[in-house]
Structure formats: structure tokens, C-alpha cells
Structure 1
Amino acid sequence: MSPAFTRRQLLRLGGSTLVVAGAAGYGVAAYTANVVRADLVVYGATAAGIVAAVQMRRMGCTAVILEPGCHIGGMTTGGLGFTDRGTAAAIGGIAGEFYRRVHAKCHGNTLTSDSPTRLAFEPHVAAEVFDDLLAEHGIAVYLGARLVAVTTVGNRITALTVHDERTFAGSMFLDATYEGDLMASAGVAHTFGREANSVYGETVNGVQLSTAHQFSLSVDPYVVPGSPRSGILPGISRTPVAPAGTGDGRTQAYNFRMCLTRAADRIRFPRPAGYDPADYEIVYRYVQAGYRGPFFSARGVGNGKTDSNNNGAFSTDFIGANYDYPTASHTLRRTITDDHRSYQQGLLWFLANDPRLPASVRASTAAWGLAADEFTATGGWPPQLYVRESRRMLSAYVMTEWDCRGRVRAPDSIGLASYTIDSHNCQRTVIDGSVRNEGDVQVKTPGPYPVSYRSIVPFEAQCANLLVPVCLSASHVAYGSLRMEPVFMLLAQSAATAAKLALDSGVPVQRVDIAALQTRLSQGGQHLQWPLAPAP
């Protein structure tokens, strides 16, 4: 093995690099020609994908991770440094360990089982923690390994083929992507968009008009103010708003979670190619009406840096621009991602530079910039689009609003979720001659609630050796609570544990003994019920 390779290069294999794949101790069972074999093949190097592979290695099995892009760690390393936590005490297992490792790395402490956790962190710290976990467990990550074919025999996946014709064979497979691409390619039932309230007897699904992240002042939506015949401004839907609770194919908005700073060496907001101030006429009129901000959040994550997210009626969410994303081709997704980047960069440029805006708005925006020591390969801009919701599996148990509200409690718990039911806006429209946002939902949950094992496995007839801990089976509103990085991590650990039990027993993942799984999970530090049982 060449000493010229760094640890990061060794673990992150791209192109035709072969040096590590066959090396002893790297978690790969066998390597022959263009075929890599492992007990567990993970598709997606998100936080969930990494945790699943780590758990599989800790149980004595082999694991390999395929990442269709070039970024490792998903949103946890992609700018979402102020963790959406819900009840922090409900985060157990490797997820809890991850946040203890973050604290130890930030403070230079020795990691112990009772180390404090840190849930707000700079992106590079999270990346270093994942590097440590990958190195300690000898897990190879193949970058640029975009799925093009799934080989099946009966109701079992036997191999995945990626775009450069390499094949990854395994006994168990796990889809850890935000998009559910492996799940869909394997023929597993799924959905996207919003259900009508009537589908699962819910109350806050489908079309929802709320006061949160809403225009507080009247903004004229027409190209020529007061003239509907002149057309409407960019970014506004021409479709009349459907009745409350109506289902549709719209997906809650995406954005990039930025790491900003006021430091002197900050990178000034770039002016994107094709910038057109007309794209921001709505926010200009909002400011004219008297609004002065905020235009994005600035929650601190350490060392003067932020996790900056959407905040307000017109902000970093590119509302309505992602409807095609869940089922789009690789090429179209890249275009949609580029459009989101250009929109968000253009908004920041507009706010910091447009001479029509009040000096106070321009100065307060220009005081911020991208952190120079984060995302250095992409000029300080985060490489990961925040795909808040894409496909969702349809399986034997669909998590709904009533699970989140605690009125239904799944008996086959594999972990706890607790965050607010949270959907960002899904469309921008016109109501009574003014611009309005639609789709925001923010409903508090009464406390941690169990997530069903059946919600992360397909119907057996569709696939007997696939687990889906990220695009799990849930309604749109339930997914709004479940879609948090700690939950994805803990469900991934549970999924890998179930995969090992299925291998040991020679049964489909759907027939894993739940009592045995829950015992194993509890032994691994996973929390399954709330309130937590007192320590022995």
C-alpha cells in the first residue's frame, strides 16, 4: 500500500482506484476483478449510512459504503451543525456516541461512555468524527458510485452495479440515501408529496395555510402592481390553492444550510452566473412594505460560525423548485441542485448589494460571509443540498401524525423520535391579491415516541434483504418529525443490527425476532421506550 495515500484518500475510493478495496482489514469480504463482496452493502454515505456500516463491523461482519456523489456525512457534515434534537436524552446508541465524540474533539477530552454530548458543531468537526469512525472500523467508502442497476433473484437483491460497471455483491443491503434510489430501483413501493388528511385520518397533512414563515405585510404578486393581466412574479404558483387538507405531489422546500461568519477573512457572498434581480422582486416589495429581516437564521455552532437556515416568508428555501427532484434522473437532479445554489447565492447577493434596498439591510447582510475554513473544496459553499423529504417507502406500518402525537405507540420499537412535526412551505401562491406561502406545519410532539421496525423494511414479497432507515414508511407530516439526523442514525444502527440477526437466523428481514432485536438494541445503548428505564 503506497504511503502517498492519506487516510481520507484510502477510505474514499473513487474512479477506478483499487488499492484499498482488497486490503485486509478494510471490511470487505472479497474482491475479484470488478466485484466487491460484503455482508452489508450500504448505498449512501450519509450519517445513517456510516452508522449502519460501523454497527455491522462491530458485530463482526463486513460492510462497504457506496456514495453516488462526492460528499460524506450527508447533512450532518453538510452545514446542519445546529442539530434538530427534540428530546436529547432520547438519542441513544451510536448516534449518542457520535455527539459525545463531537464534544470530546471540540474540547480535547478523552471519549468515555458518559462523556457529555455536543449537538452544535462546525461542519469540519463532524467530518473528522466520521473519518475517525471509518478508520477505526476499516470501512471503505466508494465515491462517485452511482447506482445504475439492481440484480435480484426472486425477492432478494444479490448485487448493485454502478455507472462505471463495478459490481457490489452482498447478503444484505441498506438504502441510506435521502432520495430512496436503491429502494425504488429494487421495485419497493413508495410515494412522495403530501397525502390528503383523509388517507390516514390525519389533521395537518395536505394543503396547509399557517402564519409561520408567512408574509406579515401585503405584497403585490403582479408584474405590474395591481394588474393581474400583467402576469405574476417569478416563483409564484399560477394554480389556485386547493382546500385545506387536500393531497398533492408537492414536496417541502429545499435549501443549503450555510456556515457563516462575521470574521475578517470571511468569503464574500458570490454573485452567481445568470443573476437576475427580477427573481427577488417579491422580497424587494416586502422590504418596501416595511419588512427589515431577518432573512436567514444565524444559530451559533462554535468559533463565531453559524448554521444558517431558512427563516421568514422569503428566505433561503427555494419554494416550488424541487417538485421533480424525488424521481428525477441524475442529470436533472444536478440541474435542480445548481438552480437551488444559484437562487440562494443570488438572494444573498441581492440583499447585500442591491442599491434599491435600505442601507441597513445591505449592511446587515454584507456583515456575514462564508467561513473560509469550511467546505474549502467548494469555495466555502456547502456541497450537500438539504433534501428535507423525497421518496417515502410504503410498508406494513406507516408512521403517521398519531404516532408523533403519542396516541398510537408501535409495539416493535427500534428507537425514539421526538422532534416537532415540521414541514417547510411547499408553494408560494396568491390569495386575495397578495403573496402567500402554503405548506408550513409546526406541531409540537408531547414527547419521545417509538418508531416501528416494520416502517424500515419493505413488504417481504417486494424485497427480503433490504432495510430503509432514511426514506422510511411515513406520511408526509409524520416524516416532518422523523426526518432528523439523530433519528436517521439511530434507525440505521437498528437496521444493521436486524440485518445481522437475519443473516444469523437465515430469515428475511421481515421475520427477524423482534424481542431478540430489541434485546440486542438495548445492549447497544439504543433507547426504545419513553420514559427511559432507570439504569441498573
Structure 2
Amino acid sequence: MALEEQFDVVVAGGGPSGITAAIASARMGVKTLLVEKYGFLGGMATNALVGPLQTFHAGEKQIAKGIGEEVIQRLKEIGGTPGHVKDMIGFVPTITPVDVEKLKYIYQELAEESGVKLQLHTVVTGVELEEKTLKALHLFNKSGHFKARAKTFIDCTGDGDVVAMAGVPFEKGRAKDGLAQPMSMMFRLGRVNTEMIREYMRKNPEDFVLAENWETVPMVAVSGFFSLVKKAKEAGKFTVDRDRVLLFELPTEGEVSVNMTRVIRHDATDGQALSKAEVIARKQVMEVVEFLQNNVPGFEEALLINCGTQIGVRESRRVIGEYVLTGEDVVTGKKFDDVIALGSYPIDIHSPDGDELNVVHMKPGTIYDIPYRSILNKSVQNLLVAGRCLSATHEALASARVTPTAMLVGQAAGTASALAVKEDKLPRQISIKQLQHSLRKQGCYLSENEIEGS
């Protein structure tokens, strides 16, 4: 890129919300730049191995479609996912296991086919503001410092980096003490005997969280071995702040994705704390692997394949938008006139200061709306957000943070930004009806009665 280049829309962050935002924007014919700090796209799913993707469904109904579903179908064609399969744990209706290397490729292909200009290995270092208008992002990569100017910007960094640099108000963590959900370093194991795991489950079902008819589910998912974890802890042989084994089978035979490390009381937006969290988590990985190999049936021959490129972050900054989505909105399935996306994932809070999972279950099939106002703010008029840094409380974010929902919100943010550019308006000035009409044309559902089979 030149030292300074003009775009219509600039998206910061190539995670699930940033990818769909950039693709949606570019497909509408506006010049779009997508900036990503790593050399590949995908966000937490690819750089932190966070998976499986969940959930595209509310009960029997698939609520997440659009570009997100396009990604899954393209991935399925090259053997990178079995698609949406029943969750053996029963926490959600379906899970979507993915091969992250193939997912990186599909994201890249879709972005390029859509006309998105990709700028990888690039970080945002600052912003250029004039009153309430963002004029440019200051960027840095191997070529040095440069600027990307645009009419509209979307913060999809996950951590709300642009929001913070632009002075937009934000919150972090839970209301009582500001502590965020813990970070986790996920990792892949190979040579796992999943049939031995199933056999142990059949003999000890009380030691697991299991869905009805779990034995018919094609891919293993484990939330359990509670007794083995407890025994190891009591013997001083397992010290990680986890009360269970949590893992999911991957598309490649004998491979599983393990989610058992837990780093509490560390702030993902504090450079020193994040660095310490990485070190702690990698030590925990080695302890977890040893525990599994020595104590859990099916892991006797297991081998560590790889850890995430970075630690997985569940929560950091949340913008204070024109509307703050609440936990009550989520569990009651609240509807909004300015709906831009649907959600249905339970409120899933990994305790910020302990080893528990605190879950607020909703009535099965509950669907809630995410309003357009939750991606707008009152401080910088041409800056939208999508993904993990949207405007929501600690409790609501514990539902809305997941990948399929982030993809839907990103697609809406990209579409809104393109409409604003084409009409020479601020994002808050565009017609909500027009935005919703465009999203429906792109295959997105905005109400339960629009869903196929409803």
C-alpha cells in the first residue's frame, strides 16, 4: 500500500465478524480494506483453535445463515467440516467442527473473490479524528507506517482497539469488579481413541453431561470425567482451575480439540498481563496433556499436535453503544424493530475467579434479536463495531460472543457501512428498513417466521 490510501470502508480485524463485514461491504461495490494482524484470517477459531463453531441453530431451526453458512458449505466441499452435527453434550442443538487450516483457506478465497483488499501482518497503531468523525487509521507492518483513510470504519478487533484509540466509551468485565471471563489456550491432540472414550461413557454416564440419545451422535464431545479430575486434584496431581474434561472430536480421525486451560484475573487488553497469560496457559497445556495421558481412558497414546497461535480471549472491551444488550434481553428472547441479527446461544459464563461454568439456560429454541443500535455509538459517528466488542453487558456478551452470531453481526455492519457510503450518509442515518431488506436478500433471517420450515 501507499503511505496513504483512500477507501470507502476499512475493517479492522479479520475474525469472523471482520471477514463477513468486509465481504458484505465489497460485494456491494464499495472499495473495502480488511486489516489483520496475523498472516491469515479467522480470528479466535483459527489463531486460538476455538471450536467447534456453535451454534447455527435454535432448537430445530437454523437461524444463522448468510455468509457464515456460505463459509460452512464451501468448507464442506473440501472436506473441512462434516457440517452441523448434533451436540453430544446437549449444551446447544448443533456444533460445527472445522479443520482450521482449510477454514483459513476458505475465508481467504471468499474475501478475494468478493474484491476485498487484504492487508495481513498489519496492526492498528492509532487513529486520526476530526471532532466526531474518524478520518484514518494509522497502520504498521513490515513496510513501516502508513494510513488508511475511509468514509466508514468497522472495529472487529475483538478487543475494541479502535474504539479505545478513538476515545469511545467502553466497559470491561462484570459489573461488580471488572473481572472478565478467563482466557484459555486450546490445543489439538492426535492418536486419541474415541471409541474407548465412548465405552467409558456407556459404563459411567453419571460422570458426564450428556444429551438424550447421545450414543447416536456421530462425533464425540466430552464435558465430564468429573470423578477423574476430582481424584487427581485431591492427590495434588492436577492444579488447573478446571472441574472437568472438555473436548470435541475434529474432522480428522483420532484428533480432538481440548478446552481445559484457564487463566483467571488477567486483562486481555493489558500487554503485560496478556504476555503472562500466554506463559501460564502453555504451562497448563503441558499439565493437562500429562493428566489426560495418565488418567483418562483413550488418551494413553495421545500426542500434542499444536496449541493456538495465541491464547483464546472470551471477553475484553465492550463498546457502550446506543443500546446495551442485556442478559434479560437474551433469556426472554427480546425483539427489536431495528434487528440486524438473531442469537440463541445460552449465557455461558466461565467464572472470572474460579473453575466453574455458570450457565443461564433459556427455554429451548429461544431466539433473541440484536439491534442495530448495539453496533453504533454516540461518540464517533462513522465507526461501527461487530463481534466480541459489541454493546452488551457481561452477561449478554457471554451469549452473543460466539462465532455464528459474530458472523451475522459482521455481515450487518458491512452492509450498513456500504449503504452509508453509497448514499453519502452517516451509518445512523441510513434506513433500517433498507438495511434489513438488503440482509434478507443476502439470505439472512431477521425474525423467526422467516426461517425455512417455520
Q: TM-score range by the shorter chain?
A: 0.7 to 0.9
Map of 2:394 onto structure 1: 476
SS in 2 for 1:100: helix
Candidates 487, 500, 511, aligned match of 2:405: 487
Relative contact order higher in (CA < 8 Å, ≥ 6 apart):
2
Map of 1:133 onto structure 2: 110
1:133-168 C-alpha deviation (Å, 9 max, x unpaired): 123224333233222210011211111112432111
Map of 2:204 onto structure 1: none
Residue 63 of structure 1 pairs with residue 32 of structure 2: yes
SS in 1 for 2:450: coil
Q: What is the distance in 2 between the residues matched to 1:105 and 1:294? A: 37
SS in 2 for 1:525: coil
Map of 2:4 onto structure 1: 35
Give the 3 Å change call, closer, same or farther, for CA 307–388 of structure 1 in structure 2.
farther
- Matched length: 397
1:224-244 C-alpha deviation (Å, 9 max, x unpaired): xxxxxxxxxxxxxxxxxxxxx
Residue 105 of structure 1 pairs with residue 105 of structure 2: no
1:234-260 C-alpha deviation (Å, 9 max, x unpaired): xxxxxxxxxxxxx21111111123222
Mapped contact 1:51–1:492 kept (Cα < 8 A): yes
Candidates 269, 278, 286, aligned match of 2:234: 286
CA deviation after TM superposition for structure 1 residue 332, in Å? 4.7
Q: What is the distance in 2 between the residues matched to 1:325 and 1:495? A: 24
Give the 3 Å change call, closer, same or farther, for CA 531–182 of structure 1 in structure 2.
same
Q: What is the distance in 1 between the residues matched to 2:174 and 2:243? A: 29
Residue 316 of structure 1 pairs with residue 286 of structure 2: no
Mapped contact 1:158–1:171 kept (Cα < 8 A): yes
Mapped contact 2:186–2:307 kept (Cα < 8 A): no
Q: What is the distance in 2 between the residues matched to 1:189 and 1:136? A: 36
Mapped contact 1:296–1:316 kept (Cα < 8 A): no
Candidates 294, 299, 324, aligned match of 1:398: 324
Map of 1:355 onto structure 2: none
Mapped contact 1:45–1:66 kept (Cα < 8 A): yes
Segment drifting more, 416-425 vs 143-152? 143-152
CA deviation after TM superposition for structure 1 residue 425, in Å? 1.5
Fraction of identical pairs, as percent: 27
1:314-353 → structure 2 map (5 Å cutoff): 315-318=260-263, 320-322=264-266, 324-326=267-269, 328-329=270-271, 332-349=273-290, 352=293
Mapped contact 2:335–2:369 kept (Cα < 8 A): yes
Q: 1:408 is aligned with what amino acid? A: K
Q: What is the distance in 2 between the residues matched to 1:107 and 1:387? A: 24
Candidates 279, 291, 297, aligned match of 2:246: 297
Give the 3 Å change call, closer, same or farther, for CA 305–474 of structure 1 in structure 2.
farther
Q: 2:234 is aligned with what amino acid? A: Y
1:391-415 C-alpha deviation (Å, 9 max, x unpaired): 1111121111121123532221001
Mapped contact 1:98–1:129 kept (Cα < 8 A): yes
Mapped contact 1:161–1:167 kept (Cα < 8 A): yes
Mapped contact 2:265–2:352 kept (Cα < 8 A): no
Q: What is the distance in 2 between the residues matched to 1:442 and 1:364? A: 32
TM-score when normalising by structure 2: 0.79
CA deviation after TM superposition for structure 1 residue 367, in Å? 2.8
Q: What is the distance in 1 between the residues matched to 2:265 and 2:36? A: 25
Mapped contact 2:321–2:377 kept (Cα < 8 A): yes
Q: What is the distance in 2 between the residues matched to 1:184 and 1:389? A: 15
Give the 3 Å change call, closer, same or farther, for CA 407–44 of structure 1 in structure 2.
closer
Residue 166 of structure 1 pairs with residue 115 of structure 2: no
Q: What is the distance in 2 between the residues matched to 1:122 and 1:81? A: 10
Q: What is the distance in 1 between the residues matched to 2:397 and 2:376? A: 16
Unaligned runs of 5+ in 1: 1-20, 22-31, 110-116, 196-246, 265-280, 353-358, 372-379, 429-436
Q: 1:486 is aligned with what amino acid? A: P
Candidates 341, 344, 369, aligned match of 2:303: 369
1:146-157 → structure 2 map (5 Å cutoff): 146-157=123-134
Candidates 363, 368, 383, aligned match of 1:449: 368
Mapped contact 1:399–1:473 kept (Cα < 8 A): yes
Map of 2:188 onto structure 1: 259
Map of 1:80 onto structure 2: 50
Q: What is the distance in 2 between the residues matched to 1:389 and 1:248? A: 14
Q: What is the distance in 2 between the residues matched to 1:60 and 1:402? A: 38
Higher helix share: 2
CA deviation after TM superposition for structure 1 residue 124, in Å? 1.4
1:183-241 C-alpha deviation (Å, 9 max, x unpaired): 1111111101112xxxxxxxxxxxxxxxxxxxxxxxxxxxxxxxxxxxxxxxxxxxxxx
Unaligned runs of 5+ in 2: 83-93, 194-228
CA deviation after TM superposition for structure 1 residue 384, in Å? 3.5
CA deviation after TM superposition for structure 1 residue 302, in Å? 1.2
Q: What is the distance in 2 between the residues matched to 1:305 and 1:108? A: 15
Segment drifting more, 130-139 vs 490-499? 130-139
Q: What is the distance in 1 between the residues matched to 2:80 and 2:285? A: 33
CA deviation after TM superposition for structure 1 residue 286, in Å? 2.8
CA deviation after TM superposition for structure 1 residue 305, in Å? 4.9
Q: 1:106 is aligned with what amino acid? A: G
Q: What is the distance in 2 between the residues matched to 1:335 and 1:129? A: 33
CA deviation after TM superposition for structure 1 residue 483, in Å? 0.7
Q: What is the distance in 2 between the residues matched to 1:522 and 1:412? A: 13
Map of 2:197 onto structure 1: none
Q: 1:296 is aligned with what amino acid? A: V
Mapped contact 1:49–1:65 kept (Cα < 8 A): yes
1:491-521 C-alpha deviation (Å, 9 max, x unpaired): 1110011111111222221222111111111
Mapped contact 2:75–2:81 kept (Cα < 8 A): no
Map of 2:68 onto structure 1: 95
Q: What RMSD, in angstroms, separates the aligned Cα atoms of the two structures? A: 3.0
Q: 1:94 is aligned with what amino acid? A: I
Map of 1:144 onto structure 2: 121
CA deviation after TM superposition for structure 1 residue 67, in Å? 1.7
Q: 2:101 is aligned with what amino acid? A: H
CA deviation after TM superposition for structure 1 residue 80, in Å? 2.8
Q: What is the distance in 2 between the residues matched to 1:143 and 1:534? A: 37
Mapped contact 1:257–1:309 kept (Cα < 8 A): yes
